[in-house]
């Protein structure tokens, strides 16, 4: 059986689809500002936390969809 590792990734994206991903929620906004520009809540900014348990060393592709309202979601093997 493969060893499982829990991974947490934060994603910040705007209503135009521009996004930044970071492993540290506290540094996410600064990274977004540097790469995309200053975030504005009025501009449709959304933060999403992804937490997955990943088997190593096997590569895997996951797909999912975040709901319009904050609620738990699911990722499926693509």
Whether the ω angle into residue 54 lies within 30 degrees of 0, i.e. cis, is no
- Compute the mean pLDDT over every residue in the chain, rounded to the nearest whole number: 85
| Contact present, 2 and 55 (Cβ < 8 Å) | yes
Return the closest-CA partner of residue 75 out of 57, 58, 56, 54.
54
Q: What is the pLDDT of residues 3-22, one digit of tens each?
A: 888 999 999 998 888 999 99
Asked if residue 38 has pLDDT above 70, the reply is yes
- Sheet with strand 3-13: strands edge to edge: 19-22, 3-13, 46-56
- pTM exceeds cut of 0.85: no
């Amino acid at each position: 059986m493969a060893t499982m590792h829990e991974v947490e990734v934060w994603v910040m994206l705007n209503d135009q689809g521009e996004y930044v991903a970071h492993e540290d929620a506290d540094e996410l906004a600064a990274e977004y500002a540097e790469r995309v520009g200053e975030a504005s809540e009025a501009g449709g900014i959304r933060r999403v936390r992804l937490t997955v348990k990943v088997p190593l060393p096997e590569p895997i592709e996951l797909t999912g969809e975040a709901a319009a309202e904050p609620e738990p979601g699911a990722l499926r093997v693509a």
